[in-house]
Amino acid sequence: MHKILVSRCLLGERVCYDGGSHGPFVLLEEWRRQGRLVAVCPEVAGGLPTPRPPVEIPGGQGTRVLDGECGVLTVDGADVGAAFLAGARAALRLVEANGIRLAVLKARSPSCGNHENYDGSFAGRRVPGEGVTAALLRRHGVRVFSEEELMDAVTALAALEAGEDAR
């Protein structure tokens, strides 16, 4: 059975920066019952507390954090990039330990977002870009979906289980 990495906050766990969570999502609950899910909160795994200050990536590109070109900043300018990198590596270790090829991660998070991010201005402006964990997992061949793309994740899982790697 193919396992799927999932953001802990999408399973109703109160690990969001503001102490909140998301969901429930019927499909994720079904996958959890099947024993298919491996849950992670990269920011907590990286050592950050809950609640914690909101952060943004200047320019919104998690790949730049991976490449050491920028940090992950609070509105006061504190750089928590090291914790984000540690959390991304923890997620990658779970992926490697479980042979994971698919992930469902929270949209528009500076760790988990897969298509879009806030631009670092703390003005609510979105730009195309990935979170730090999503970017690292993609570099290692994981297909990353968000909770807004669950039907696409179902299709990708079906292809994997049929032996057609649609990566």
List residues near ligand SF4 by CB under 6 A.
Answer: 7-9, 15-16, 41-43, 106, 109, 111-112
- Nearer Cβ to ligand SF4 (37/112): 112
CB of residue 164 to ligand SF4, shortest distance in Å: 29
CB of residue 16 to ligand SF4, shortest distance in Å: 4
* Spatial contact of 101 and 160, defined as CB atoms under 8 Å apart: yes
Who contacts 69 (Cβ-Cβ below 8 Å, separation ≥6)? none
CB of residue 8 to ligand SF4, shortest distance in Å: 5
Joined tokens for residue 42? 């990269």
- Distance, in Å, from the CA atom of 122 to the CA atom of 101, rounded to the nearest integer, reads 33
- Nearer Cβ to ligand SF4 (128/158): 128
Beta bridge mates, 37: 4
CB of residue 84 to ligand SF4, shortest distance in Å: 9
- Distance, in Å, from the CA atom of 116 to the CA atom of 35, rounded to the nearest integer, reads 29
Could you please report the per-residue DSSP string of 100-137? --EEEE-TT-TTT-SSEEE-SSSSS-EEE---HHHHHH
- Nearer Cβ to ligand SF4 (42/81): 42
- Nearer Cβ to ligand SF4 (54/165): 54
